[in-house]
Amino acid sequence: MKGVVRVGSPAKWTILTYIAAHNNLDELGGRSLGQIVEVGSTPEVKLLALVDGQKGASRLLAGQPGKPAKQEPLTGFDSGDGDALLETVRWAFKECPAERYGLVLWSHGSGWRPEEIEEVAKQARGDAKVDAVESRDRAAAPGSMALFRSTLTTILKKEKPAERAICFDDGSGHSLDTLELDRVTREIRAALGRPLDFLGMDACLMATLEVAYQVRESVRYLVASEELVPGSSWPYDRIFGELRGEPGRSPAALAKSVVKLYGEYYRDHPPPAGDVTKVALDLGQVSEIARAVDGLAGALTNEIDSQADLLWKAQLDSYEQESRKKKREPNKFRFHLWDLGSLAARLAGAGSSPAVREAAQALAATLKPGGPAVLAEDHLGDWFEGIGGVSIYLIPAKRQRVSPYYANLALAKDTKWAAMLQAYHDFFA
């Protein structure tokens, strides 16, 4: 990705919404695009979009409300390719220089379609023919929720179907996506010469500590959901409409407003599944949460023989509450993600050792909304009461191996969490 060239008078904000609707949410991707175009751009706020759906891809600059100022179709475009995303970012930020830059990634949805899984498998393994049954099975597995084609490629390169099945289901898709997102945001930072001001994830399951910590040097503020995102996505008309009326809004203020408006919208329009969570994080402060996690991981590891059952009970209790006693499916637990606030609250209670209790209380303190790291948090439904808005990878005891890819993440390298996961797994082995 070459450097962004700045010419003319810069806007206050340039925001690209990258709509990768390579799934059965094509129609809803068009809905989000329509809202963005309806808001329109001003000299101070430039709204651009890339939409890739079942009928093809195009990129555009919103103009007067309801009309694109510029639009061009794209042939052979693969929105799941990290390099395609980088090229689109380069185009948008060069097209509309600004004081502040934002990127919203609209993706995940219901995952990749079976025919797309089959095509990636052919490219990854060189198969003359990929079994259609396997492609359908993989499309229904957690790994199919991957943002990037590179993630699927790595998983599908496994030669044996059993190995591929494990990789799809062991959290590796989440880990590998995080690594690719890190690469993309680092290249954006290099092109800008400074961190990206705002990254919005209109995608499922991305409000994890692993993601936030991985991109902390390349992005200033992150807004994401730890649960699956409703098909209606963000209320772009409200979010960008407010920004249009207040173009001098800071990145922190924009991040907080997304959380507020997202919560308000879904209180007015509750989704059937009830998957409404949103958090805004200051990534300059997210290391505070990581340090607290490191302290808790160390305390648990040192006393794993006496604390493993307590951690398992905390997992089960969190799962029972936040899955509405298994009635809310799918959910983050299917992807081996647990809310840090829920875990901390339960580990700070009766039965924990003094060291674990103290570490859990310290972790809970870092997750308070309005604090240094968590700018804002919102959710809909009493089953989410007590959450912190940020999840973390945690294997279900007695059932699951630790993902072999997890060790590659920055959080795993810089904290004792990965070591705790292995000790926890070994205790029940």
pLDDT at 15: 98
Task: For residue 1, give every residue at least 6 positions away whose Cβ sits within 8 Å of its Cβ, in sequence order, or none.
Answer: 86, 87, 89, 90, 187, 188, 190, 191
Which pLDDT band holds residue 109 (cuts at 50, 70, 90)?
low
> Quick one: 76 and 203 in the same domain?
yes
* Closest to 392 in 3D by CA, of 358, 326, 348, 343: 343
Q: What is the DSSP string of 415-427?
A: SSHHHHHHHHHHH
Does pLDDT of 424 surpass 70?
yes
* Closest to 127 in 3D by CA, of 159, 167, 165, 164: 159
Is 244 a domain residue?
Answer: yes
pLDDT at 7: 43
> Quick one: 180 and 325 in the same domain?
no
Which pLDDT band holds residue 4 (cuts at 50, 70, 90)?
very low
Domain boundary pick from 159, 174, 189: 174
Is 230 a domain residue?
Answer: yes
Is 150 a domain residue?
Answer: yes
> Quick one: 53 and 189 in the same domain?
yes
Dig out the tokens for 344 from the structure: 């901390």
Name the percent of the chain in helix, strand, coil, to the closest 5: 50, 15, 35
Domain boundary pick from 133, 154, 174: 174
> Quick one: 306 and 403 in the same domain?
yes
> Quick one: 56 and 127 in the same domain?
no
Dig out the tokens for 213 from the structure: 């910590």
**For the chain, what's the residue count?**
429
**Total domains, the chain:** 3
Say which amino acid occupies 146: A
User: Rounded to whole angstroms, how far apart are CA atoms 235 and 220?
Assistant: 22
Does pLDDT of 5 surpass 70?
no
Does pLDDT of 8 surpass 70?
no
pLDDT-wise least confident of 167-181, 211-225, 303-317, 409-423: 167-181
The predicted-structure confidence for 187-228, as pLDDT tens digits, reads as follows: 999 999 999 999 999 999 999 999 999 999 999 999 999 999
Q: Which helix (H) or strand (E) holds 59?
A: strand 56-62
Give percent of the chain with pLDDT exceeding 70.
96
Is 5 a domain residue?
Answer: no
Say which amino acid occupies 137: D
Structural domain including 224 reads: 11-110+175-282
Does pLDDT of 2 surpass 90?
no
Is 3 a domain residue?
Answer: no
DSSP-derived 3-state class of residue 61:
strand
246: left (phi over 0), alpha (psi -120 to 50) or beta: beta
> Quick one: 48 and 59 in the same domain?
yes
- Bridge-based pairing state of the strands 68-74 and 374-379: unpaired
> Quick one: 98 and 70 in the same domain?
yes
> Quick one: 216 and 343 in the same domain?
no
> Quick one: 159 and 179 in the same domain?
no
Is 376 a domain residue?
Answer: no
> Quick one: 17 and 139 in the same domain?
no
> Quick one: 203 and 158 in the same domain?
no
Name the average pLDDT for the chain.
Answer: 93
Domain boundary pick from 157, 174, 191: 174
pTM reported for the whole predicted model: 0.95
